[in-house]
Amino acid sequence: MDDVISPVDARRDVLVVVDVQNDFCPGGALAVADGDALVPVANALIRHFEHVVLTQDWHPPAHRSFASSHPGRAPFETIELDYGAQTLWPDHCVQGSAGAAFHAGLETTRAELVIRKGFRTAIDSYSAFYENDRATPTGLAGYLRDRGFSRVFLCGLATDYCVAYSALDARRLHFDTVVLLDATRAIDLDGSLERALAAMRDAGVVLTHSARLR
């Protein structure tokens, strides 16, 4: 059963749409199964919220998280880097590429801010709030606080990586946090979806569906 939430309040609530980009959709370099199916749901959410932020994976060529940057390594292997374990990915969301662009069907015009992440060559960035060293901020938290927002709703790609990391960081930063599961899709690499859902629940993230919004 979905967790119970209070009605959306424009004074304190913001929708963060995570990485709905071509490379994460079918046909993309790091496609999430059924990833484009969330676009109509995300668009309905964008119309429902007064305040919307988008995030965009934005890697330079030869990014350190790319398997191609590590001779002899293959995509989806895990290696240890100075900031911890790093899954190696196919080259994706390279700055200025068609794959890095937002899905053409996503309604982006009402977004008040676009946060680009992963642009530092030496470190990956899943979360909308921090790079993967868990210390280097994107600036989103300060922006939200300056605007007076205290509750963050999240949707986008992928449930078990960038959405989950963003939700966990939002809780760590003391924002009330809601993930709208019908507007996400998961990679589910070796059980990563169940681990992510459990971690979010344990952190106090509300997991619900867009039909529950009022």
Q: Catalytic site residue 160?
A: no
Q: Catalytic site residue 93?
A: no
- Please give the DSSP secondary-structure letter assigned to residue 153: E
Burial label, 72 (beta-carbon count in 10 A; 0-12, 13-18, 19+) = exposed
For residue 120 the two structure tokens come to 């530092």
| Catalytic-labelled residue, pool 19, 91, 169, 176 | 19
The secondary structure of 84-148 as a DSSP string is EEEE-B-S-SBTTSGGGSBPTTS--TT-SEEEEE--STT----SSSB-TTS-SB-SHHHHHHHHT
Q: Catalytic site residue 155?
A: no
| Catalytic-labelled residue, pool 117, 124, 155, 160 | 117
| Catalytic-labelled residue, pool 91, 155, 162, 176 | 162
* CB contact at 8 A, 17 and 106: yes
Identify any residues that bridge with 115 across adjacent strands, giving them in sequence order.
Answer: 55
Residue appearing with tokens 């300056």: 146
Q: Cite the active site residues.
A: 19, 117, 162
